[in-house]
């Protein structure tokens, strides 16, 4: 079952737009990684290993939404822990939408 448990926002360069990553890791686990220099987080990706973008894949209805395209798999990503701006808890079940 594919489920997004946290949404992680990263900023590597100050002038760049923040990068939003969707992760099967729980927010508590990701926040613990921030105590280290390098954070090891798992993120959802497409077939070509580009980062999954939930905002582009959702069609909204009156009281519901449909996830049109699901991520292929997830990969481990090693980032500078100082680049993590925000971690949000999420509970998005990708299989049942």
pLDDT in tens, 37-96: 999 999 999 999 999 999 898 888 888 778 888 999 999 999 999 999 999 999 988 877
* 91 vs 7: CA distance, rounded Å: 10
Q: What is the pLDDT of residue 24?
A: 95
The model's pLDDT over 74-83, given as tens digits with 9 standing for 90+, comes to 999 999 999 9
Q: How big, in percent rounded to 5, are the helix, strand and coil portions of the chain? A: 15, 45, 40
Q: How many domains does the chain have?
A: 1
Q: What pTM, to 2 d.p., does this model score?
A: 0.87
Note down the domain range covering 30: 3-93
Instruction: Give the C-alpha distances (Å, rounded to integers) separating 14 from 11, 30, 49, 62, 69.
Output: 7, 22, 24, 38, 31
């Amino acid at each position: 079952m594919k489920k997004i448990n946290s949404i992680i926002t990263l900023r590597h360069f100050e002038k760049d737009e923040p990068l939003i990553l969707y992760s099967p890791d729980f927010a508590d686990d990701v926040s613990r990684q921030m105590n280290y220099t390098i954070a090891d987080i798992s993120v959802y990706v497409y077939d070509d290993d580009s980062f999954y973008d939930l905002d582009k894949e959702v069609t909204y209805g009156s009281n519901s939404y449909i996830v049109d395209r699901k991520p292929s798999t997830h990969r481990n990503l090693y980032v500078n822990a100082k680049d993590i701006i925000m971690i949000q808890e999420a509970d998005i079940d990708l299989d049942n939408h």
